[in-house]
């Protein structure tokens, strides 16, 4: 993380008098900057580099006040070789071809962690009046087919709820599988991992979540990392309001049920008294804020925001409040009290009723109590999608197993992705299963699942591993031979090494290690050398063994219990 730089100002400098400081510096390899050889890209043609600043990594990229409490505009000049496209999270850009120099300017104040750069073999296509998708040439047609036209639909829906989109353009760049998280809400230029392109419903949710951050997180930012829920909880709430407007309440309730299942799974394994389950987490000196980022940040934060919306009686009234909140605080950073005071002032009748002190649901308790959310949303509007999942799960887990015929008649190919992953996650929670059950499951569904997306396949393969079901192990090998992404490799290696299949894991790793990013390779080597979970928390977010700073989806969870893996916390930054 380097060391702080203190600049003494001249004694003669008058209060509020403008001044300029020039810092000449060189950046070495650091946790914010990821260099990729051509072999680690999809095209295998040109080198690639990207930065990931969240939450305190950009201090290794450039000198900055690396806190979300400080916002500023920025400009940058970047020189790159011919054939390398450079992009940044900026509202304005230009390119001097004869000099190979790019100029960028962000005209609105942003916190340091939202300054981002990517450079590589990237080409683009317009997918809407203010949106463009960037990707490696071999990926661009897929990206266009998945997103053309619909990003504008999401932006329009968000604007109808929360007011004008203030950043000008909303572009998306798809990054190689070494990108350490699913997505990052860099203003004007969302970063997203290319691996998610094959999973349509996850792609929808992940991009809409980043769209929501344009209002909650980017325009109005949590002033301290101890209150990340102010960005993530509000963005998750806004994401679900957008999906309700564009895809209906049933789909939103299904996705919410899937995430809340994961929240309760994480809570069960961490323990209800774990301090990381608080919304206002205490950040001790020297602790990477990313280590405190978990599903509570998202889902418990969401439940609190949802509870506030229910106090209004109509979500549209709450939408009006959030529009006013954005207008009041845009381009600034806030604490929880700012949000709650604004809420009570906007709804004086609720203030008169002392809703902030309602027994058992006190605002203070929401913020500082450990354990599960004090209240959860009514998801009954999703029952048409969740009930079939519950019915099928019951058929497979009720003894004696005499309903195989009914269970086997269910065609999972006709289900939504979130239905299938919810079903498989619940089977995972119950693993190891009786051998007869896993054998029949394989007979009924294995061939169907083979043709589905990676979010579904990895869950089935984890079931295979956790149940030592040898007839399908070859599929685990085939999957790992074709995956370079952390989110699709770490969970399987964890399960393989926790069980009896460590030698099998070693064999696959030695065959495939050269296609993995060095950071991912080191993490897997640590798993293999220990043979067991958990990994130390400092290592699950490590770029190198001595620079632990990257933000990963697994965050606290992997480091706390071997039974939790990336499937439980597959969330965007």
Cα separation, 235 vs 232, whole angstroms: 5
pTM of the shown model: 0.92
Cα separation, 388 vs 375, whole angstroms: 25
Of 185, 210, 226, 299, the active-site residue reads: 210
Three-state SS annotation for 107-171 = EEEEEHHHCCEEEECCEEEEEECCEEEEECCCCHHHHHHHHCCHHHHHHHHHHHHHCCCCCCCCE
Number of H helices, E strands in the chain: 22, 16
Tens-digit pLDDT profile for the chain (573 aa)? 667 888 888 888 988 899 999 999 988 778 999 999 999 999 999 999 999 999 999 999 999 999 999 999 999 999 999 999 999 999 999 999 999 999 999 999 999 999 999 999 999 999 999 999 999 999 999 999 999 999 999 999 999 999 999 999 999 999 999 999 999 999 999 999 999 999 999 999 999 999 999 999 999 999 999 999 999 999 999 999 999 999 999 999 999 999 999 999 999 989 999 999 999 999 888 888 988 889 999 999 999 999 999 999 999 999 999 999 999 999 999 999 999 999 999 999 999 999 999 999 999 999 999 999 999 999 999 999 999 999 999 999 988 777 777 788 899 999 999 999 999 999 999 999 999 999 999 999 999 999 999 999 999 999 999 999 999 999 999 999 999 999 999 999 999 999 889 999 999 999 999 999 999 999 999 999 984 444 333 233 333 323 222 222 333 333 333 333 333 333 333
pLDDT at 352: 97
Cα separation, 233 vs 301, whole angstroms: 4
Query: Coil, strand or helix: which one is 562?
Result: coil
Is 210 tagged catalytic? yes
Task: Please name which of 120, 85, 126 lies closest in space to residue 102, comparing C-alpha atoms.
Answer: 85
Domains of the chain: 221-380 (1.10.390.10), 382-529 (1.25.40.320)
Of 113, 298, 307, 488, the active-site residue reads: 298
- With beta carbons less than 8 A apart as the criterion, state whether 389 and 383 touch: no
What the block records as the tokens of 238 is 């806004």
To which H or E segment does residue 468 belong?
none
Give helix 229-247 / helix 249-270 axis angle, nearest 10°: 150
- With beta carbons less than 8 A apart as the criterion, state whether 374 and 308 touch: no
The annotated binding site for Zn(2+) is made up of 209, 213, 232
Task: Please name which of 393, 385, 390 lies closest in space to residue 418, comparing C-alpha atoms.
Answer: 385
To which H or E segment does residue 449 belong?
helix 435-450
pLDDT at 9: 87
Q: Following DSSP, what letter does each residue of 36-78 receive, concatenated?
A: E-GGGSSSSSS-EEEE--TTTTGGGTS----STT-EEEEEEEE
The annotated binding site is made up of 209, 213, 232
- With beta carbons less than 8 A apart as the criterion, state whether 542 and 550 touch: yes
Is 152 tagged catalytic? no
Cα separation, 295 vs 232, whole angstroms: 10
């Amino acid at each position: 993380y380097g060391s702080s730089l203190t600049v003494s100002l001249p004694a003669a400098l008058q209060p509020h008098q403008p001044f300029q400081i020039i810092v000449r510096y060189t950046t070495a390899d650091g946790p914010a900057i990821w260099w990729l050889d051509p072999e680690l890209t999809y095209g295998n043609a040109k080198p690639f580099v990207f930065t990931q600043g969240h939450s305190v990594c950009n201090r290794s990229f450039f000198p900055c006040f690396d806190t979300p409490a400080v916002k500023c505009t920025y400009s940058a000049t970047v020189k790159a070789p011919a054939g390398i496209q450079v992009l940044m999270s900026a509202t304005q850009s230009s390119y001097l071809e004869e000099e190979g120099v790019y100029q960028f300017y962000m005209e609105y104040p942003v916190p340091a962690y939202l300054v981002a750069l990517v450079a590589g073999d990237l080409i683009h296509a317009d997918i809407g009046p203010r949106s463009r998708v960037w990707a490696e040439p071999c990926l661009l047609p897929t990206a266009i087919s998945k997103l053309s036209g619909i990003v504008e639909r999401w932006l329009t829906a968000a604007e109808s709820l929360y007011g004008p989109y203030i950043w000008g353009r909303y572009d998306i760049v798809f990054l190689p599988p070494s990108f350490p998280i699913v997505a990052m809400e860099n203003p004007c230029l969302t970063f997203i991992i290319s691996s998610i392109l094959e999973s349509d419903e996850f792609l929808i949710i992940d991009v809409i979540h980043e769209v929501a951050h344009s209002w909650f997180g980017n325009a109005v930012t949590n002033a301290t990392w101890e209150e990340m829920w102010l960005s993530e909880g509000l963005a998750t709430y806004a994401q679900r309001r957008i999906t309700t407007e564009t895809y209906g309440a049933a789909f939103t309730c299904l996705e919410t049920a899937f995430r809340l299942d994961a929240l309760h799974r994480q809570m069960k394994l961490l323990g209800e008294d774990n301090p990381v389950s608080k919304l206002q987490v205490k950040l001790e000196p020297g602790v990477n804020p990313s280590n405190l980022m978990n599903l509570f940040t998202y889902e418990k934060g969401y439940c609190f925001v949802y509870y506030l919306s229910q106090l209004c009686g109509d979500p549209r009234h709450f939408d009006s409040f959030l529009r006013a909140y954005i207008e009041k605080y845009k381009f600034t950073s806030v604490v929880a009290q700012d949000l709650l005071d604004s809420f009570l002032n906007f709804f004086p009748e609720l203030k008169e009723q002392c809703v902030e002190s309602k027994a058992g649901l006190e605002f203070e308790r929401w913020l500082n109590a450990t354990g599960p959310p004090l209240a959860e949303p009514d998801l009954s509007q999703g029952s048409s999608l969740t009930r079939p999942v519950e019915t099928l799960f019951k058929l497979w887990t009720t003894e004696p197993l005499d309903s195989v015929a009914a269970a086997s008649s269910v065609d999972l190919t006709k289900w939504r992705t979130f239905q299938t992953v919810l079903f498989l996650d619940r089977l995972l929670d119950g693993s190891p299963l009786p051998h007869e059950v896993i054998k029949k499951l394989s007979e009924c569904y294995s061939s169907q699942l083979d043709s589905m997306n990676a979010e579904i396949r990895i869950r089935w393969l984890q079931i295979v591993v956790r149940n030592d079901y040898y007839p399908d192990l070859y599929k685990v090998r085939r999957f790992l031979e074709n995956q370079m992404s952390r989110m699709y490799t770490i969970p399987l290696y964890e399960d393989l090494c926790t069980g009896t299949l460590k030698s099998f894991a070693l064999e696959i790793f030695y065959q495939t290690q050269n296609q993995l990013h060095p950071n991912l390779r080191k993490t897997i080597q640590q798993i293999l050398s220990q043979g067991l979970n958990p990994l130390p928390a400092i290592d699950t977010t490590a770029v190198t063994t001595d620079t632990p700073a990257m933000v990963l989806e697994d965050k606290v969870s992997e480091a706390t219990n071997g039974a939790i893996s990336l499937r439980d916390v597959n969330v965007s930054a």
